[in-house]
């Protein structure tokens, strides 16, 4: 798979674990490890059994969490810095501007490449769709049959011809701004934005 095709393949691969992980980090910014995050996500119904093989299930859980952490690290800059280490995950809310993402980090490159999840593209999309559905239920969203692409783009304040990359960037920015755990967050607005993203992400 060429670099260009790979980037297109990954454009829509928004890992919905970003948001429950962010919930957890905002409530408890330090003291997390990948396996404790996995247990936390399992308790809330976000981490089902991913493989009948125990070893593969563990690998896939770790992969999805690390992938979400690296995506979240990029999303939170420059406001915050997320330290991504398997045994020491820390959210530093006031030191984002002091840090830069290492684009040459082989670990980051590995976990952001969905091919390393060892699944077909369709399986990964299905899995992420299921995760997204669980998260929407968790935040209390309901399917709005009247919400189409045009209305969703208006909610995002984007033009009709907005591309996938611009849409995803805007979604993350708006989600961070209105997330209920933020000081000036708005749970109802966040739920509406979740519905708009659900329309636009496909």
- pLDDT of 144 reads 62
Q: Environment class of residue 170 by beta-carbon count within 10 Å: exposed (0-12), middle (13-18) or buried (19+)?
A: buried
User: Quick check: 12 pLDDT over 50?
Assistant: no
CATH number for the domain harbouring residue 186: 1.10.287.110
40 and 125 together in one domain: yes
Q: What is the C-alpha to C-alpha distance for residues 16 and 135, in angstroms, rounded to an integer?
A: 7
152 and 135 together in one domain: no
36 and 84 together in one domain: yes
Q: Which of 140, 164, 186 is the last residue of a domain?
A: 140
127-to-50, 79, 91, 118 alpha-carbon distances in Å:
9, 30, 27, 13
CA 62, chain centre distance (Å): 14
Mean pLDDT calculated for residue range 81-102:
85
Q: Which of 100, 118, 140 is the last residue of a domain?
A: 140
Percent with pLDDT over 90 in the chain: 44
- Sequence-distant (6+) residues with CB within 8 A of 12 are 125, 164, 168, 201, 202
pLDDT, tens digit, for every residue of 27-55?
A: 999 999 999 999 999 998 898 888 898 98
Whether 77 and 99 have beta carbons less than 8 Å apart is answered as yes
């Amino acid at each position: 798979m060429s670099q260009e095709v790979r980037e297109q393949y990954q454009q829509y691969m928004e890992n919905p674990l970003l948001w429950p992980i962010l919930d957890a980090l905002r409530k408890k910014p330090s003291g997390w490890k990948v396996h404790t995050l996995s247990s936390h996500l399992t308790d809330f119904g976000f981490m089902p059994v991913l493989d009948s093989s125990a070893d593969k299930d563990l690998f896939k859980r770790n992969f999805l969490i690390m992938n979400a952490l690296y995506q979240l690290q990029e999303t939170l800059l420059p406001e915050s810095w997320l330290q991504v280490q398997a045994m020491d995950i820390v959210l530093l809310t006031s030191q984002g501007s002091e840090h830069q993402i290492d684009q040459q980090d082989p670990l980051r490159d590995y976990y952001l490449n969905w091919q390393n999840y060892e699944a077909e593209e369709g399986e990964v999309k299905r899995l992420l769709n299921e995760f997204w559905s669980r998260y929407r239920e968790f935040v209390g969203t309901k399917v709005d049959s009247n919400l189409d692409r045009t209305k969703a783009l208006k909610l995002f304040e984007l033009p009709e011809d907005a591309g996938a990359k611009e849409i995803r960037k805007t979604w993350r920015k708006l989600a961070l701004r209105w997330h209920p755990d933020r000081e000036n967050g708005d749970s109802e607005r966040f739920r509406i934005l979740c519905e708009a993203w659900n329309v636009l992400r496909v």
